[in-house]
Chain A
Amino acid sequence: MINIWEVNETNKMIEQDNLDVRTITLGISLLDCIDSDLQKLNDNIYRKITTVAEKLVETGEEIERGYGIPIVNKRISVTPISLIGEAACQTPGDFATIAKTLDRAAKEVGVNFIGGYSALVSKGMTPGDRNLICSIPQALAETERVCSSVNVGSTKTGIDMDAVKLMGEIILKTAQYTKENDSLGCAKLVVFCNAPDDNPFMAGAFHGVTEADAIINVGVSGPGVVKKALEQVRGADFETLCETIKKTAFKITRVGQLVAQEASKRMQVPFGIIDLSLAPTPAIGDSVAEILEEIGLEYAGAPGTTAALALLNDQVKKGGIMASSYVGGLSGAFIPVSEDQGMINAVESGALTLEKLEAMTCVCSVGLDMIAIPGDVPPSTISGIIADEMAIGMINQKTTAVRLIPVIGKGIGETVEFGGLLGHAPVMPVNRFGCDAFINRKGRIPAPVHSFKN
């Protein structure tokens, strides 16, 4: 039988160490909504989402009360809208009407974000893909809860550099369209390489075409729990360090597995995957950077950071994989700047630069995330940063992503405030040397060789 110490340990994790389930994300296929009539398409989408997700928030809250575990977000991901809208949308403006429909449906069912305003263009763009991408600035400025992502490369196909160039321009335009809110629109826009079909985390969630009609994916969290466990083994050797992370990850993930199975049973929607990511929040003590400090670094970004992060990420997976029957999504430690107080401190103290963050993304998911940069950078610079990050994903057969926020009207050292889970961020310096001639070449970077790995 369960004993009092075990009960106290679990409840201490929840009450003091910020253990929570970060998100239950309901993936919904919109393939059966496709119509060449735009009005009919919008009606079909609204009806499908509000029917399938009707009980999502209610079910999440029931589970929260039953187990006493907070479930921070209930969200929806849908089939990439470029596929759904291609037959009906002739212009970017047509696509933007679908964004508004998604926003309306999200409000109706009470979820805080809906992901899948997306295009998958890793090898090339159809006219529909291009129209959707061009509509992103308007869509994100005119909606509140819609999240957008564009997959511009993969290990199997290489990188679509035309899309990379376009995304540099689109990110800047999104920043301009939402400049009254510190360019907040860009916080809801991710550029991917090797985007997973079953990611439950925003802003990059979409419901891939390889998925069933509806599916429950769950993202766990718990950097605070890992940090607290590591405090108990301060100064111990690497074996003890790794074992502690693994055991803690196991416990955290088991809670996620329970919540996922329960949600699946109550909603009669199949369980998809658990995403094993350590996802920080701006709350004190809920930080991945603080885990790195606990491992032995003065600040995240100090020499040794990449190795410490690689170790952390790998042990989280080793512990988590055994705890769950299906693992997927991004599954790794997130290192967003604005959403992690330890990362913000590291940037403000001068320990952490964009270049070091790029190195860190080689060993963990997911990429350059929630980084504020000056609003006056040229679009080609943003495209260059995207291309670098995509290359890391392509060559290393992993998911990488870029979520940069060029803050219009703000310069290096100033702070932007996004509020809530998105946090606040200091504007970071960007390498000012040009890459126009590289970005302006047309076409794509070929797929890499899959042998001779060194």
Chain B
Amino acid sequence: MEKNADRIIITVVGKDTVGIIARVCTYLSEHQINVLDISQTIVQEFFNMMMIADMKNADKQFDQCAGDLERLGEEIGVNIRCQREEIFQKMHRI
């Protein structure tokens, strides 16, 4: 489980507004990307969310999804970023 190369981390940072998670999750479900974990905090009205998702059955390539989500973020007015999970695993686990 720790070494699944299909897992990605999606981070959303920006001003809190209604429906951020809903819009991101809608996009993910439309493209068969399974959400494994969500955590979020709000610091001084700033929305900060991290999602772990699995792209094993996704119908789009990573690069396309990352681009789509970035544009979705621009629409909502938040910053959405997609990264492969390995970079965090490598840095924080021995």
Contacts and interface: CB of A to CB of B under 8 A. Distances in A.
Do A and B share a complex?
Answer: yes
Interface of A: 1-4, 6-11, 62, 65-69, 251, 254-255, 257-258
Contacts of B48: 4, 8
29 contacts: A1-B37, A2-B9, A2-B85, A2-B92, A3-B39, A4-B39, A4-B41, A4-B48, A4-B49, A6-B91, A6-B92, A7-B50, A7-B88, A8-B48, A8-B50, A9-B92, A10-B87, A10-B88, A10-B92, A62-B63, A65-B62, A66-B62, A66-B63, A67-B86, A68-B81, A68-B82, A68-B83, A251-B91, A258-B86
Contacts of B89: 2
Please classify the interface of chain A as helix (H, G, I), strand (E, B), loop, or mixed, using the class held by over half of its residues: helix
A2 B84 CA distance: 12
B67 to A, nearest CB: 9
Contact of B83 (A3, A62, A67): A67
Contacts of A255: 87, 90-91
Given A4-B39, A4-B48, 15 more contacts: A1-B52, A2-B9, A4-B40, A4-B41, A6-B91, A7-B88, A8-B50, A9-B92, A11-B81, A65-B66, A67-B84, A68-B83, A255-B91, A258-B86, A258-B90
B34 interface: no
Interface in B62-94: 62-63, 66, 81-92
Contacts, number: 62
A325 to B, nearest CB: 12
B88 A66 contact: no
A251 B92 CA distance: 7
A2 B92 CA distance: 8
A69 B87 contact: yes
A73 B61 CA distance: 25
A7 B90 contact: no
A254 B90 contact: yes
A255 B84 CA distance: 12
Q: Which of B36, B81, B88 has most chain A Cβ within 10 Å?
A: B88
Contacts of A11: 11, 81
Contact of B90 (A3, A8, A62, A257): A257
A174 to B, nearest CB: 41
5 closest residue pairs by CB, A with B:
A68-B83, A67-B87, A4-B50, A254-B90, A6-B92
